[in-house]
Amino acid sequence: MNVDAVVEELYLLPPAEFIKARDALAAEARKEGEKGTAKAIAALRRPTAAAFASNLLVRRRPEEVRALLDLSEALRGAHQSLDGAQLRELSHRQHVVIGALARTARELAVEAGQAVSEGTVREVEQSLHAVVAGAEAAEQWAAGRLTTALTPPAGFPAVSGTAVPAPTRTPATPRERRQPSGETAPAKEAPSRAEVRHREAVAGAEQAKVEAERERASREEALGTAEDEQKRHERKAADAERQVKVLEGQLQQAQTTRDQAREALTAAADQVQEATRAAKTARRAADKANSRIAKLRGRQE
């Protein structure tokens, strides 16, 4: 059994069907003697609703996926080069593309039988922002095997929707304005206090979102682990109950056999007693016959 093929199959299933299908495939692998494969399959984590929708989007819309990956590379390049004009243009395109992709992911998930809430859509959008912000996240997303939503890093302008502002020049002081001609007054490009506070506020909000998402993902993983543990205990309980029924059947059969043996033994004992009585009766009759014969012989003589 090919693990990659199994993964491709499982991560296209709605989360509600994942555990049952995974356990069945793992059991099949164990039955075929592929213990390593069975262990790898059993270790696969069930995707959240947002991860399932993201995986469907990657598998069903490869051209749109490629377009987002190209856009994310351009955005990261503009961010590194501090090209404010290009970043503002690409940031606008990013939000348009991400909004469209999130809607498409929702439609695909609903068609596959998975209910999608507004919160799930936001998690899908968050994953798409993470794809734009980082190459590693983009690679994970493009594999189509997410188990939870991706978390974008804090402080990346394209994620928050605010492009890097163009450097501002502070007004020249009177001393700088009186410099001799031919000398250029040094330009000060430091951001204003308002801009600094704005950036700090944006970064703080993004960090809070990241922490909240991490906590949510941790709770989701803990819930998935608990549900998996519950499934294992339920399977063990079902196996034990089946074993009890088998043993009860064997006990009932043994008791039936024992009762039949007792009845046969009782019948045999009765037959022995009857035969004994018949033998005694026959012996007495024989003795009487012998005595009578002896008397008849004595008369003849």
* Concatenated DSSP letters of 19-64: HHHHHHHHHHHHHTT-HHHHHHHHTPPPPPHHHHHHHHHHHH-HHH
pLDDT above 70: residue 259: yes
Q: Tell me the pLDDT tens digit for each residue of 89-133.
A: 666 777 788 888 999 999 999 999 998 999 999 999 999 989 888
CA 106 to CA 117: how far, in whole Å?
9
Reported as a pLDDT band with limits 50, 70 and 90, residue 243 is: confident
Number of Cβ atoms within 10 Å of the Cβ of 56: 23
Question: Using CA of residue 78, residue 80, residue 84, residue 90, what is the dihedral sign?
Answer: positive
Instruction: Give the burial class of 301: count Cβ atoms within 10 A of its Cβ; 0-12 exposed, 13-18 middle, 19 or more buried.
Output: exposed
CA 98 to CA 104: how far, in whole Å?
10
Reported as a pLDDT band with limits 50, 70 and 90, residue 43 is: very high
pLDDT above 70: residue 201: no
> Which tokens in the block code for residue 298?
């004595």
Kindly report which listed range (38-47, 65-74, 191-200, 265-274) carries the lowest average pLDDT score. Answer: 191-200
Question: Using CA of residue 27, residue 33, residue 34, residue 35, what is the dihedral sign?
Answer: positive
The residue among 55, 43, 42 whose CA lies nearest residue 14 is 55
Instruction: Give the burial class of 98: count Cβ atoms within 10 A of its Cβ; 0-12 exposed, 13-18 middle, 19 or more buried.
Output: buried
User: pTM here?
Assistant: 0.51
pLDDT above 60: residue 168: no
Q: Please, what is the angle between helix 118-133 and helix 193-300, to 10°?
A: 120
pLDDT above 60: residue 286: yes
Q: Tell me the pLDDT tens digit for each residue of 9-34.
A: 899 899 999 999 999 999 999 999 99
Average pLDDT over residues 31-44: 92
pLDDT above 90: residue 147: yes
pLDDT above 70: residue 288: yes
Instruction: Give the burial class of 89: count Cβ atoms within 10 A of its Cβ; 0-12 exposed, 13-18 middle, 19 or more buried.
Output: middle
Number of Cβ atoms within 10 Å of the Cβ of 94: 22
> Which tokens in the block code for residue 53?
């929708």
pLDDT above 90: residue 197: no
The residue among 213, 59, 46 whose CA lies nearest residue 126 is 213
Place of tokens 């040094």: 186
Q: Is 11 helix (H, G, I), strand (E, B) or coil?
A: coil
Kindly report which listed range (149-158, 164-173, 233-242) carries the lowest average pLDDT score. Answer: 164-173
Please give the mean pLDDT across all residues of the chain: 77
How distant, in Å, are the alpha carbons of 139, 152, 156, 204, 225 from that of 211? 22, 11, 16, 10, 21
